[in-house]
A and B are shown apart, each in its own frame.
Chain A
Amino acid sequence: MICRGFVVLEREMNSSFPRAIRSTISPSSLVFKRPKPPFFAALSRSISVSSMPTSPNPQIPLFLRPPKFSSTLSDLQKWQEWAKSIALSVGSKFVDIDNGPDTILLCRELKWLLEDAVEDKSTVPELGSAKNGRLVRLKADIEELYVLWKQRIEERRPFQYIVGCEHWRDLILSVQEGVLIPRPETELIVDLVGEVVLENKGLGDGIWADLGTGSGAIAIGIGRILGSGGKVIATDLSPVAASVAAYNVERYELQDKVEIRQGSWFEPLDDVKGALVGLVSNPPYIPSHLILGLQAEVGKHEPRLALDGGENGMDDLLHLCKGAALMLKPGGFFAFETNGEKQCEFLADFLTNKLETSFHNVKVVYDFAGIQRFVTGFHN
């Protein structure tokens, strides 16, 4: 893993959204057999730069790009076989190193990558029997597909960054480097909000805040269940996150319901102090010393700003708990995601006993895997 360098492929696609594909090349790339021509052609056209350009425009997920490219069915099949053989060669290696993905998961991802890359998904099953030169329209050059899958395996670049999106609840959210990939556990926050809104219609017509919105996942999920008077203000310190969240909000046509503001936690919310009916957040909560040991997809590729919660992981959660009483209206609801049992219990105790009479009905809620994951409650 020495002599790493960044490679930027010159791309002619997406003229309206100039972007670069990052790829690091390492000696281990030589381990994998692959059909030569397309891949080397890609490499020889590349130039080296040392850092990722900051993109003012968010990237478009693969599945939404125009099908400007084409390949024969048999060339695509060759790519698929090559990609599959690499995935198979991984075996349990990543699981052993850092509890990363296994072959089964990688093969499933390969299928999804293919589904996102072809114009017409129904061609995917035909691949197995493809012996012909029929052309398939693609959303990425086949050369790029080689590069992308190499990144997936050799660099452990997260699958969601490769395809530029994550399926979350019934949404497909654009994500890219610099923005946390929303987790399945977090889907539950939207259901918790749905539950309280059903029980108390007033909450559905007020102002909510989603702090540290990342891709905008929670804010968009909530925006879609609020009543006509309801609104969500979503904030993030990261400019990349703010622009990706704005892109996702627009894609779901929620500009009137979800407003993105850039800034640190409560700072951009001065004008709604004491006026919020709801406050939700999935702030960074991993204790700093655990960051190094994270699976490569997370630790090496997702933004530290989105993960690192300080010494015991609760720096941001405590800040949010302390501020919640000032921000929420009487009767307002809050829900925070946490690292698990320890943080849940600590925060529930803190909110119930250490802040005197500020909150009632403080609860700890389990996630789907049976882990205590959320703290919820109401402002008095």
Chain B
Amino acid sequence: MAQTLLKWVGTSSRLFGSFKPALHTHGLQVQVPFQRQIKAFTLSDRGGGGAGGYSGRDFLALSDEQLMGQCEMDTFKASGPGGQHRNKRESAVRLKHVPTGIVAQAVEDRSQHKNRASALARLRTLLALKVRNKLNLDEYRPPLELLQILPAKSTMRTSDCGPQIGPNNPKFVLGMQALLDLIFAVDGSISDAAKYLGLSTGALSRLILSDDSLRMAVNELRSSKGMRPLT
């Protein structure tokens, strides 16, 4: 995680979601920090279990700046004049991803900058967990980002996949999203999913159990289908 954060922190610009419209008073231009760059994502079918009609892969492929541009950010509401008047570390950050309505927040870091970065990393995980992409299983081939999180023994893996990416690597969320897409497409059957990935059922189960949020997402799906949870 730390790596993406630093990268993002280092190239900060256009990071701020605006939460007030531009105003014109006294003939002066009053501006919010930066304009948001919301792209053409439909907002109409929000709330349908988080899935909606848009592609979660598109969101995760965005740069931090672009993703931030789709978010509204609040810190604590102004409870006074702020600035030089205050020493209270009001550095908590709450990000609302407008196209999906997903909210991520971070309070525990010591600078607002880092809280913003943590909230954004958390948002990526939530997007991976909650936004599903439809798959066509007849022509299914696991995408590279999914192959990269699989153990070396997967028969689908080729040498250009590189070493296995673990849950601490920021790229893991991309693979996790693709894996969840597949598991949803096969209605939660680990053995079916394992076949598409060239793995044994046991090996895929171990991978799922290696990450808490992944395990919980899979088990939530399985319990909704009346299947036993993985343990």
Contact = CB atoms under 8 A, between A and B. Distances in A.
Interface of A: 99-101, 105, 108-109, 112, 158-160, 166-170, 180-181, 183-188, 190-192, 194-195, 198, 282, 284-286, 290, 294-295, 297-298, 302, 306-307, 337, 339-340, 345, 348-349, 352, 361-373
Interface stretch (B5-13, B145-153, B178-186, B198-206): B5-13
A370 B84 contact: no
B82 A185 contact: yes
B15 to A, nearest CB: 7
B26 A168 contact: no
A188 B33 contact: yes
A290 B83 CA distance: 14
Contacts of A112: 110
A160 B9 CA distance: 22
B26 A366 contact: no
Interface stretch (B73-81, B124-132, B211-219): B73-81
Contacts, number: 142
B33 A192 contact: yes
A361 B31 CA distance: 11
Tell me which of B12, B18, B73, B78 has the highest count of chain A C-beta atoms within 10 A of its own C-beta. Answer: B12
A36 B60 CA distance: 55
A141 B29 CA distance: 55
Contacts of B228: none
Interface string B171-191: 000000000000000000000
B28 A371 contact: no
Interface in B1-58: 6, 9-10, 12-16, 18-20, 25-26, 28-34
B78 A371 contact: yes
A186 B113 CA distance: 11
A366 B33 contact: yes
Contacts of B33: 188, 191-192, 365-366
A125 B37 CA distance: 41
B19 A370 contact: yes
A370 B81 CA distance: 11
Nearest to B25: A345
A366 B32 contact: yes
Most buried by A among B26, B28, B108: B28
B111 A168 contact: yes
B109 interface: yes
A339 B10 contact: no
Given A345-B28, A364-B31, A366-B32, 20 more contacts: A159-B89, A167-B110, A170-B9, A188-B16, A191-B33, A282-B84, A285-B83, A295-B86, A298-B87, A337-B83, A340-B81, A365-B31, A366-B18, A366-B20, A369-B82, A369-B90, A370-B78, A371-B81, A371-B82, A372-B30
B30 A363 contact: yes
A167 B114 CA distance: 9
Given A187-B112, A284-B84, A369 B75 contact: yes
A22 to B, nearest CB: 18
Nearest to A111: B108
Given A167-B109, A167-B110, A170-B113, A183 B84 contact: yes
Which of B19, B33, B77 neighbours the largest number of chain A CB atoms within 10 Å of its CB?
A: B33
A198 B80 contact: no
B14 A195 contact: yes
Contacts of A294: 85
A105 B88 contact: yes
A170 B111 contact: yes
Residue of A160, A286, A370 with most chain B CB atoms under a 10 A cut-off:
A370
Nearest to B110: A167
Contacts of B82: 183, 185, 340, 367, 369, 371, 373
A192 B73 CA distance: 17
A306 B90 CA distance: 20
Nearest to A369: B78
A297 B84 CA distance: 11
A115 to B, nearest CB: 9
A284 B80 CA distance: 17
A294 B85 CA distance: 6
Contacts of A369: 75-78, 82, 90
B91 interface: yes
A352 to B, nearest CB: 6
Contacts of A198: 13
A368 B73 contact: yes
Contact of B13 (A191, A298, A352): A191
